[in-house]
């Protein structure tokens, strides 16, 4: 079970990893509504490595703020690998950061389908000079709060892994 203490510890690891190599970070969040940014910025000194966070809950915000092509949203839906990838890459392009994480999913309750069930979340991490990576997690119908906590933790883990990629 993910709780706030685990999230805070993981956020601290992200900040330390980014600071150790001088990277700035950015988040692009949909279903978590800013929880990843909050976890990072709750820690004193985070301004040294957190550039900004985008909360792009609507499809229009994903397009307007991150440059996610409307055609991609129409073809694959907001909760999809192509949209998660475009969100992370758009966050990098629209910030001063070198590492980004994005989250888009169905937190529930309700809103899911057979193809995209409640608890499905797509993540992507992008870093300048590296291939954007994607992660799909089905948390299940745990309830909105638990899905969002799990997604926050998973996004922080993915961001840390993205930061720690070898720069050689």
**C-alpha–C-alpha distance, residues 52 and 115, integer Å:** 32
Give the Cα separation of 86 and 54 in Å (integer): 13
CB 22 within 8 A of CB 33: no
Query: What mean pLDDT, rounded, does the chain reach?
Result: 96
**How far is Cα 74 from Cα 70, in angstroms, rounded to an integer?**
6
| Exposure letters 52-90 (e unless 16+ CB within 10 A, then b) | ebbbbeebeebbebbebeeebbeeebbbbebbbbbbbbb
Task: Name the 3-class secondary structure at 69.
Answer: coil
Is pLDDT of 57 > 70? Answer: yes
125-140 in b/e form (b: 16+ CB < 10 A) is bbbeeeebbbbebebe
Phi, psi of 167 (to 5 degrees): -100, 20
> How does pLDDT run across 69-103, given as a tens digit for each residue?
999 999 999 999 999 999 999 999 999 999 999 99
Closest CA to 139 of 100, 101, 108, 102: 108
The predicted-structure confidence for 107-157, as pLDDT tens digits, reads as follows: 999 888 989 999 999 999 999 999 999 999 999 999 999 999 999 999 999
Mean pLDDT score, 20-47: 98
Which pLDDT does position 166 carry in this prediction?
61
| Model confidence pTM above 0.85 | yes
């Amino acid at each position: 079970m993910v709780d706030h203490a685990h999230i805070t510890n993981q956020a601290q690891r992200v900040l330390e990893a980014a600071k150790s190599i001088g990277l700035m970070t950015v988040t692009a969040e949909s279903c978590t509504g800013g929880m990843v940014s909050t976890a990072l910025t709750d820690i004193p000194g985070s301004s040294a490595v957190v550039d900004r966070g985008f909360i792009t809950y609507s499809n229009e915000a994903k397009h307007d703020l991150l440059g996610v092509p409307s055609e991609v949203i129409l073809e694959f839906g907001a909760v999809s690998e192509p949209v998660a990838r475009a969100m992370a890459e758009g966050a990098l392009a629209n910030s001063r950061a070198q590492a980004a994480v994005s989250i888009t999913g169905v937190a529930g309750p309700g809103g899911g389908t057979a193809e995209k069930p409640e608890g499905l979340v797509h993540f992507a991490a992008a870093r300048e000079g590296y291939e954007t990576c994607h992660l799909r997690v089905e948390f299940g119908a745990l309830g909105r709060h638990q899905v969002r906590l799990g997604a926050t933790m998973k996004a922080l883990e993915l961001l840390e892994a993205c930061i720690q990629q070898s720069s050689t």
